[in-house]
Chain A
Amino acid sequence: MSGSSRVPAAADPEDALRIAEEAVRLAVAAGASEAEALVASGESALTRFANSEIHQNVASTEAFVNLRVAKGRRVGVASSGRTDPEGLRALAERAAAIAANVEELDDWAGLPEPNGAPEPVVAAWSDGTGGAGPELRAEGARAVIAAADAEGVAAYGSFSTDVEAHAVANSKGIRVAERRTTSQLLTVTMGPDNGTGYAEDCSVDATRIDAAALGLEAAQQARASANPVDLPPGDYPVVLNHYAVVDLLDMLGYLGFSALAVAEGRSFWEAGKQAASPLVTVTDDGRDPDGLPMGFDAEGVAKQRLALLDRGVCRDLAFDAQTAARAGRRSTGHGLPAPNPWGPFPVNMSMAPGDASLEELIGGLDRGLLVTRFHYTNPVYPKRVVITGMTRDGTFLVEGGKIVGPVRNLRFTMSYLDALAGVEAVGRDRRTLRGMLGGCTVPAVRLSSFSFTGATRAG
């Protein structure tokens, strides 16, 4: 696909850094002993289609300034969408007023110190996305729709482009800025006789997304999943497609890979514990060009690579400045915007590939299920990472290593740790998809058992 040449002025990292530095200066002038400003600005746009036509189509120019100030051990946070001098001054006054009225934090360790300037992550930016307009997104939608038309199914989905500048400055000398682009195209297709399909791709470069291929993948799946039959719930071996695997990593990140979650006793994580199959290696790497990279976190700390699960063994944890100080170490660059009672978060996860093709993964099922993706998952027992949710957009019975046909969507209630302990094989092809808070690069996997606890109905 072709792009246009206009790059949004709002996505200038030097401007974002200048705003951050000015906010810090104003906060210090207002009496703060420490101050930190996070600035994110740019353009977000999304073209949405349903019933094979564009029905929603939006774009917005936005700015966000998050200012954290400390007066001694008293900390306040204020945010604003205004970046003009008067707006920044009012922001500094609001933050200072909060800091003057809160109780002291007895373990406040201060804002993070500079630790060398992070190397710019060049791969975080693409001119292709930077110059994308509604015409490019409509072109992508039309390509998906054409593929769906050819298969006799209807297309639904969205094509989004985000162009942003991020900057962090603090009174201890941190000064970082970069520009980032992300894009995502996803489609659900629906055919006659209750067949549905799904496909998705995410990329820093919107022009590298092959909309026609995604449309074809989802459309063919909608055809293949027509006339699903009932299957009794129970324990089945499964092959999870990429779109389902991303939820496993998301939930582990959300519930477990955080230093605060471990400190509060709500995480499964224990150093050296064999938490998953030796075939499972999960990392978090903000500089991974295969993902949706970023060079630093919301506190301006450079992203470190984490081996979250090393051949199934718990190795590293995500730290932000506060949890790192409590542990007597440095932040790993996984802080979220303050205030953040939930704690640090890995937002650039990936799972290492194996050596099996998708056909080989399916071929290893004597009698089991192929699952396209999950829907509306939610923790039931968080510490054991027991999750419930539904299958969606193509669930297939496999016998003797061959797909027999589609089954009606099933409910599962399952510990994702138990699921990952039963990984038998890992796919060699990976996809970068949208995770809970960032990009997530995953292969398909085959699991020895998955607990399906219910099924939906025809109507």
Chain B
Amino acid sequence: MPMRDLTSRALDTATALGAAYADVRVVRRLEESITIKSTRVEGVSSGETEGFGVRVLVDGAWGFAASHEITTAEADRVAAEAVRIARASATTTRSRVVLDDRPPAAGRYATPVAEDPFAIPLDRKIAALLEADRAMNSVKGLAWTESMYSAQREEKTFAASDGSYTEQSFTHIGSGLEANAIDGDEHQRRSYPDNGGLWASAGYEFVRAMDLAGNAERTASEAVELLSAPPLPAGTRTILLHPSQLYMQVHESCGHPTELDRAFGTEASYAGTSFLMPDMLGSFRYGSDLCDIVADATVPGGLGTFGWDDEGVAAQRVPLVQEGIFVGYLSSRETAPRIGRQSGGAMRADGWNRIPLIRMTNVNLLPKPGMSFEDIVADTDDGLLFETNRSWSIDDRRLNFQFGTEVVREVKHGRLGRLYRNGTYTGITYELWRSMDAVGDERSWRMWGTPNCGKGEPSQVGHVGHGVSGARFRNVRVGVMS
């Protein structure tokens, strides 16, 4: 069945039944994953899901229904169900939903892919991962290893009652290694290139460039070495956040609190709210003068890179923090007009059976000319370098955070020193960002990916990106459990 037949049928039915606005997304998602544990091919799977969802605005209230059956009859049923649901919503309306204007969206977008991961024979992908896992297991003293590869392709058609019609194809890919060493109650883990794998919008060329096999032995050796490293002592220290940790700091303490739905309370029942309120725009000092953060859905390679969001708003770059001042939000067509702005194009849904929510696109801390991250290490007289996120937690308003990393290294007189295990640091969001006195330049800047960002009820898992280059912070509390 031609796709337009389905989308037109759903939109026509919804508007005929009273929807002032309607949109429909038809999504087909393919996934392939490989897991190897201790040189054993533990799990290989291939997933496929497809369906469509209809979102309607009736009497100023939202309704949404979705189905895995792609037929015109089901389009009628689902559109009618969405209208029925919207009418139930309207029984509690206190303020009618108003959407901002945007030009109808039209066109196509596809992730640039050099090597299609789904076209590469499975046995070759398994063999490459197995080689790396075996290389880790050449190191003595490990409890177990785990190596992962995953690729996802999503084909999405969006149509709206204002005439919008877009077609997009996204390819996301991730891979990585993990070595685990255990001695009694002590369990140490070391990952490469990142905990849970490094992710991007890209083809298989992204995985090849990781050189997993070439980094396997070092990764495994560090896991064993951590067992005999001393725990990080408690104190207040200068800390350097490697990009593999800094991106998580950006994610939790800038990305989430700048979601405008959180500021308006509509995420309060699950993820929480935000300390960044609209009356603070343009005046609140979020960080030091070196702190420039943007939400950029146009940057190549990001997990939050696209042509249009799930409301048909074109990808764009939105300033969130400029020279340390809080200036903007991630927003939607419904929320942006409430602060006198237009949507920043951040509405994204996790598949056909979920509504779009305000999600991060690529929330990036911009590089600063002058020093690479290595130069910052050399410029530090006495500090601690935190590398590769291991645990994370932050309060419901995104103020009090605590992170742990896989490794912490002492920095003395500009040189890396001893290794510490079980490193943690904690603080208050704006106090940390205000203490930032060095940011790496473009030489250290790259995109990192978070493929497991949870939000919403029913739960949604988002793929979002973060560009960072590493940074230095002063007077931070470390060693929480020491």
Contacts and interface: CB of A to CB of B under 8 A. Distances in A.
B275 interface: yes
Interface in A368-412: 375-384, 386, 388-390, 392, 409, 411
Contacts of B63: 57-58, 134
Given A52-B92, A80-B48, A142-B91, A60 B41 contact: no
Given A81-B48, A265-B143, A459-B275, A158 B94 contact: no
A411 B44 contact: no
Interface in A119-159: 133-135, 137-138, 141-142, 145, 154, 156-158
A56 B84 CA distance: 13
A231 interface: no
21 contacts: A44-B353, A50-B264, A50-B265, A50-B269, A53-B95, A54-B91, A54-B93, A55-B266, A58-B66, A61-B69, A76-B46, A78-B47, A79-B46, A81-B49, A81-B50, A133-B84, A141-B92, A338-B45, A381-B422, A390-B395, A454-B480
Contacts of A64: 49
B43 A63 contact: no
Interface in B400-450: 400, 402, 404, 422, 424, 426, 428
Contacts of B143: 264-266
A160 B92 CA distance: 17
A70 B91 CA distance: 53
A57 B62 contact: yes
Nearest to A390: B395
A55 B334 CA distance: 11
- Considering the complex of A and B, which 9 residue pairs feature the smallest CB-CB distances, nearest first? A339-B43, A134-B88, A60-B66, A60-B353, A456-B400, A138-B88, A77-B45, A156-B268, A54-B89
Interface in B68-103: 68-69, 78, 81, 84-86, 88-89, 91-95
B432 to A, nearest CB: 12
Nearest to B130: A103
Contacts of B126: 101-103
A390 B41 CA distance: 38
B208 interface: no
Contact of B122 (A59, A101, A135, A160): A101
A120 B88 CA distance: 35
Interface stretch (B11-19, B180-188, B367-375): B180-188
A57 B268 contact: no
A183 interface: no
Interface of A is mostly: strand
B402 A413 contact: yes
Contacts of A188: 268-269
Contacts of A392: 272, 395-396
Interface of B: 33, 35, 37, 40-51, 53, 61-69, 78, 81, 84-86, 88-89, 91-95, 121-123, 126, 130, 143-144, 146, 180, 182, 185-187, 264-270, 272, 275, 353-355, 391-397, 399-400, 402, 404, 422, 424, 426, 428, 457-458, 480-481
A133 B426 CA distance: 45
Contacts of B44: 75-77, 98, 101-102, 339
B53 to A, nearest CB: 7
Nearest to B49: A81
A239 interface: no
Contacts of A61: 66-69, 78
A378 B65 contact: no
A37 interface: no
Nearest to A459: B275
A49 interface: yes
A389 B393 contact: yes
A376 B68 CA distance: 32
Nearest to B121: A101
Contact of A79 (B48, B66, B67): B48
Contacts of A388: 391, 393, 402, 424, 480
A98 B123 CA distance: 9
A392 B270 CA distance: 11
B47 A79 contact: yes
A57 B89 contact: yes
A433 interface: no
Contacts of A456: 395, 397, 399-400, 428
Nearest to A50: B266
Nearest to B459: A46
Interface string A351-381: 0000000000000000000000001111111
A459 B121 CA distance: 54
Contacts of B53: 60
Interface string A31-75: 000000000000010111111111111111111100000000001
Given A154-B265, A376-B394, A411-B400, 20 more contacts: A44-B353, A47-B88, A48-B457, A56-B64, A60-B353, A61-B68, A77-B44, A81-B51, A94-B46, A103-B41, A105-B41, A134-B89, A156-B265, A339-B35, A341-B42, A380-B404, A380-B424, A381-B422, A409-B396, A453-B402
A230 B401 CA distance: 17
Nearest to A383: B187
B88 A454 contact: no
B277 to A, nearest CB: 9
A386 B68 contact: no
A160 B457 contact: yes
A157 B143 CA distance: 43
B233 to A, nearest CB: 15
Contacts of B68: 61-63, 81-82
Contacts of B395: 375-376, 390, 392, 409, 411, 456
Contacts of B481: 380-381, 386, 413, 453
